[in-house]
Amino acid sequence: MDITKIFQSADWKKEKHVPVIETPAKVKKGENFKVTVSVGKEIVHPNTTEHHIAWIDLYFHPEGEKFPYQIGKFEFSAHGASTNGPNTSTVYTHPEATITFKTDKPGILIAFSYCNIHGLWQNSQEIKVE
């Protein structure tokens, strides 16, 4: 089985499930920079007990290296459920997280998100180092 076939991808401006990666296109070698990943930036994703983003994983694959590094895993656990049933709480997490890291090499940031109904989604963004 080709595992890449289970990940879906599309333009995040037209598809609400695609993780959006926001970071500078160019960073300084060895200096910390911020990366924000989110789902539903342009088209809001529902965040209900029945339909929600459960998590986003962020990886960095440095140029010339065989494997990527996991930079962060973000879980979103509150989707309106309570002891009274689905969508009875006023607490809902929004699928967005910011992380800071540094690198000496250029490479590719890769984000994966998981919708409990529509499965796995991916996106990537190149990072240049000066």
Q: How many CB atoms lie within 10 A of CB 116?
A: 14
Tell me how many domains the chain contains. 1
Is 15 marked active-site?
Answer: yes
DSSP category for residue 44: P
Give me the CATH number covering residue 15.
2.60.40.730
Is 66 marked active-site?
Answer: no
Give the pTM.
0.89
Structure tokens at 112: 């994966």
Check residue 12 and give its pLDDT. Answer: 62
One DSSP character per residue, 3-34 reads: GGGGEE---TTT-TTSEEEE--SEE-TT--EE
Query: How do residues 84-113 score in pLDDT, each as one tens digit?
Result: 999 999 999 999 999 999 999 999 999 999
Is 61 marked active-site?
Answer: no
Check residue 41 and give its pLDDT. Answer: 87
Domain that holds residue 31: 3-129
Residue 30 pLDDT > 80 = yes
Catalytic choice (51, 73, 102, 128): 51
Check residue 13 and give its pLDDT. Answer: 66
- Which band of pLDDT confidence, cut at 50, 70 and 90, is reported for residue 1? low
Is 115 marked active-site?
Answer: yes
Is 118 marked active-site?
Answer: yes
